[in-house]
């Protein structure tokens, strides 16, 4: 479908800017809602989601699918995808590595990406066909790179965890990467990892999660920067992907080779 993305990006940026004060004021908020495992949401998550959903719906006429309350179906012709606080554990603990993530899907494809890091005053934006920007300044496209020169981020995990990607499998991936990359990092905020890949701060990153609100905004950023985003099996990322591997050209291929050498996740169950 054809849609004018520039005004939608401008409106979305204004909405996130307005919510940033509330985001900063709620730092170290207590858990309000228990979720699966030891996950939780704070009152600030809930309040920001309600606020952003109401404003985006009113100003753009496009429905929103949020982490906390769901909403518009993901297969809608157009739908905003929102994570009000990415890195909730960091946020509640008082760490600055937390963000607001907002993507726009058009027929399932991320066409706009906004990643706001209020504590570090970084505002990453991307629009299909345009370069990535940080605080309005155009960032350089990602050049082909080597894994050996790259800082790589990986998602947090418990070695005893089960599920689609068991903890022992994740540790094997971590071990393989540690032998080849320059440095490893574990930020605990998927959206921040994606933004940093798009900005060239990280050479690559791996997310073992499948939640679309963690990935939609960042996929738009990385692709706009010229990076590659697949799942851990090497298939192009979609809203139903079970994981994400995002990296600069060259680095992605080397990371994928390491992941494949580890074997199948079910072998580690």
Q: Do the annotations mark residue 4 as ligand-binding?
A: no
Residue 233 pLDDT > 60: yes
Q: Of all residues in the chain, what percent carry a pLDDT higher than 70?
A: 94
Give every strand in the sheet of 183-185, ordered side by side.
183-185, 151-154, 204-207, 244-247, 228-230
pLDDT in tens, 41-99: 667 878 899 999 999 999 999 999 998 788 899 999 999 999 999 998 898 888 999 99
- What pLDDT does residue 32 have? 46
- What pLDDT does residue 92 have? 85
List, in order of start, the domains of the chain with CATH numbers.
5-138 (3.30.540.10), 147-267 (3.40.190.80)
Q: Do the annotations mark residue 149 as ligand-binding?
A: no
Q: Do the annotations mark residue 107 as ligand-binding?
A: no
- What pLDDT does residue 29 have? 63
Q: Do the annotations mark residue 267 as ligand-binding?
A: no
How many Å apart are CA 197 and CA 203, to the nearest integer? 6
Residue 40 pLDDT > 50: no
Residue 109 pLDDT > 70: yes
Q: Do the annotations mark residue 72 as ligand-binding?
A: no
For residue 13 the two structure tokens come to 């940026």
């Amino acid at each position: 479908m054809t849609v004018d993305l520039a005004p939608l990006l401008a409106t979305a940026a204004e909405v996130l800017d307005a919510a940033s004060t509330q985001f900063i004021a709620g730092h170290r908020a207590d858990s309000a809602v228990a979720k699966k495992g030891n996950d939780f949401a704070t009152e600030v998550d809930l309040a920001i989601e309600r606020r952003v959903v109401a404003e985006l719906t009113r100003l753009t006429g496009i429905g929103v699918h949020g982490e906390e309350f769901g909403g518009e179906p993901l297969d809608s012709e157009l739908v905003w995808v929102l994570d009000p606080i990415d890195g909730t554990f960091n946020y509640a603990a008082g760490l600055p590595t937390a963000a607001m993530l907002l993507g726009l899907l058009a027929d399932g494809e991320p066409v706009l990406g906004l990643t706001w890091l209020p504590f570090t005053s970084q505002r990453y934006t991307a629009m299909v066909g345009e370069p990535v920007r940080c605080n309005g300044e155009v960032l350089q496209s990602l050049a082909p790179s080597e894994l050996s020169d790259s800082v790589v981020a990986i998602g947090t995990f418990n070695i005893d965890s089960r599920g689609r990607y068991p903890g022992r499998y994740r540790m094997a991936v971590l071990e393989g990467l540690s032998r080849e990359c320059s440095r490893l990092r574990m930020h605990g905020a998927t959206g921040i990892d994606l933004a940093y890949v798009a900005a060239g701060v990280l050479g690559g990153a791996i997310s073992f999660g499948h939640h679309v609100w963690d990935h939609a905004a960042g996929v738009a950023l990385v692709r706009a920067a010229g990076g590659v985003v697949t799942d851990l099996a090497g298939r192009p990322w979609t809203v139903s992907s079970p994981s994400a591997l995002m990296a600069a050209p060259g680095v992605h291929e080397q990371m994928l080779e390491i992941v494949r050498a580890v074997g199948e996740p079910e072998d580690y169950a």
